[in-house]
Chain A
Amino acid sequence: MKVSQLSRNLFSVLLLAFFLFPYVSFLKFFNWNISISGSELIWVLKNSFLQAFTAAGICVVLGFYFSLGLFQLPEKSRSIMARLVLIPQILPTLFSILIAFSILNPFPVGHIGVIFIFVLVNLGFSVYQITQAVQNKMGQLALISEIYGLKKSIFRRRILIPIIWPDLRLNFLFVFLFCFSSLSVPLVAGGGKGTNLEVLIYEKIFIEQNWDSAWLLMLLQTLLVFCISYFLLKTRTYAQSYFRAHSYYNSRLAAVGLGIYIFGYLGFYLYSVINAASALEDVLLHQGEIIEATLNSLYLLAGVSATCFLLLVLWIADYVQWLRHNVVVHFISVSTVMVGFAFYIFFPLTNRADLIKIPLAFTLLFFPVLFRIFFAKRIEQLRSQIIAAKVFAVPTRRIAFDIVLQQLLKPVFFSAVLLMIWTLSDFAISRSVGTQSKTLGLISEGFLTSYRLDAAFLISFYILLIWLVLTTVLHFIFKGFYGANK
Chain B
Amino acid sequence: MKQFIIFIAVIFSGLLAVYLNTENTKAAPDSNTIKVYANSSFISKWGPGPSLAELFESQSGIKVDFIESADVAMTLQKISFEGKNSVADVVVGLDQFDLARTANKVKWLDIKSEKDSDYPPEIADIITTTQFLAYDWAPMAFVAREGLPMSVETLDDLLKPELKGKIALQDPRTSSPGLQFLVWIFESKSPADAREYLKKLNTQAHSYSSGWSAAYGLFKNKQTDLVFSYVTSPVYHAVEEKDASFISLEFKESHPLQIEFAGVPAACQNCESATKFVRFLQTDQAQKIIMAKNYMLPITNSIKESTAFDAVKIYKTKPFKVYEKAKLDEWIQIWSEIRKNEG
The answer to whether A binds B is yes
* Chain A positions within 8 Å of B153 at CB level: none
Bound-complex Cα distance A47 to B219 (A): 27
- B208 to chain A: closest CB distance in Å? 6
State whether B68 touches A436 (Cβ < 8 A): yes
State whether A450 touches B4 (Cβ < 8 A): no
State whether A434 touches B44 (Cβ < 8 A): no
Q: Is B11 an interface residue (CB 8 A)?
A: yes
- B33 to chain A: closest CB distance in Å? 13
State whether B212 touches A449 (Cβ < 8 A): yes
Of residues 261 to 312 in A, which have CB atoms within 8 Å of B's CB atoms?
Answer: 272, 278, 282, 286, 288-289, 310
* Chain A positions within 8 Å of B73 at CB level: 205-206, 209
State whether B165 touches A101 (Cβ < 8 A): no
* Chain B positions within 8 Å of A205 at CB level: 73-74, 77
Known contacts A97-B214, A344-B70, A344-B78; decide if A442 and B339 are in contact (CB<8 Å). no
State whether A192 touches B77 (Cβ < 8 A): no
Q: Is B92 an interface residue (CB 8 A)?
A: no
State whether A432 touches B70 (Cβ < 8 A): yes
1/0 per position for A1-38, CB-CB distance to B under 8 A? Answer: 00000010011001101100100000001000000000
Q: Is A199 an interface residue (CB 8 A)?
A: yes
Q: Is A184 an interface residue (CB 8 A)?
A: yes
- A130 to chain B: closest CB distance in Å? 31
Q: Is A224 an interface residue (CB 8 A)?
A: no
Of the residues B12, B68, B237, contact of A435 by C-beta under 8 Å: B68
* Chain A positions within 8 Å of B290 at CB level: none
Of the residues B8, B81, B210, contact of A314 by C-beta under 8 Å: B8
Known contacts A98-B218, A433-B70; decide if A11 and B4 are in contact (CB<8 Å). yes
State whether B210 touches A449 (Cβ < 8 A): no
Bound-complex Cα distance A104 to B223 (A): 11
State whether B77 touches A101 (Cβ < 8 A): no
* Chain B positions within 8 Å of A124 at CB level: none
Bound-complex Cα distance A199 to B32 (A): 42
* Chain A positions within 8 Å of B207 at CB level: 109, 187-189, 191
Known contacts A15-B8, A348-B22, A356-B14; decide if A450 and B209 are in contact (CB<8 Å). no
Bound-complex Cα distance A130 to B263 (A): 54
* Chain A positions within 8 Å of B9 at CB level: 14
Bound-complex Cα distance A385 to B208 (A): 55
Of residues 89 to 112 in B, which have CB atoms within 8 Å of A's CB atoms?
Answer: 101, 105
Bound-complex Cα distance A188 to B178 (A): 13
* Chain A positions within 8 Å of B210 at CB level: 183-184, 187-188, 202
- B22 to chain A: closest CB distance in Å? 5
Bound-complex Cα distance A199 to B74 (A): 16
1/0 per position for B43-61, CB-CB distance to A under 8 A? Answer: 0111100000000000000
Q: Is A325 an interface residue (CB 8 A)?
A: no
State whether B209 touches A202 (Cβ < 8 A): no
* Chain B positions within 8 Å of A190 at CB level: 343
- A274 to chain B: closest CB distance in Å? 14
Cβ-closest chain B residue relative to A28? B81
Q: Is A313 an interface residue (CB 8 A)?
A: yes
Of the residues B68, B77, B214, B342, contact of A94 by C-beta under 8 Å: B214
Bound-complex Cα distance A207 to B336 (A): 13
Bound-complex Cα distance A202 to B178 (A): 14
12 A-B pairs with CB atoms under 8 Å apart are A11-B4, A11-B5, A11-B8, A98-B217, A187-B207, A188-B218, A192-B343, A205-B77, A206-B174, A317-B1, A360-B15, A434-B69
Known: A14-B9, A206-B173. 19 other contacts (CB 8 A): A10-B5, A17-B12, A187-B208, A190-B343, A195-B340, A199-B171, A199-B174, A205-B74, A207-B329, A310-B7, A314-B8, A317-B4, A341-B74, A348-B18, A348-B21, A434-B69, A449-B211, A450-B41, A453-B220
Contact residues of B with A, CB < 8 Å?
A: 1-5, 7-9, 11-12, 14-15, 18-19, 21-22, 25, 40-41, 44-47, 67-71, 73-74, 76-78, 81-82, 87, 101, 105, 165, 171, 173-174, 202, 206-214, 216-218, 220-221, 223, 233, 236-237, 240-241, 295, 328-329, 332, 336, 339-343
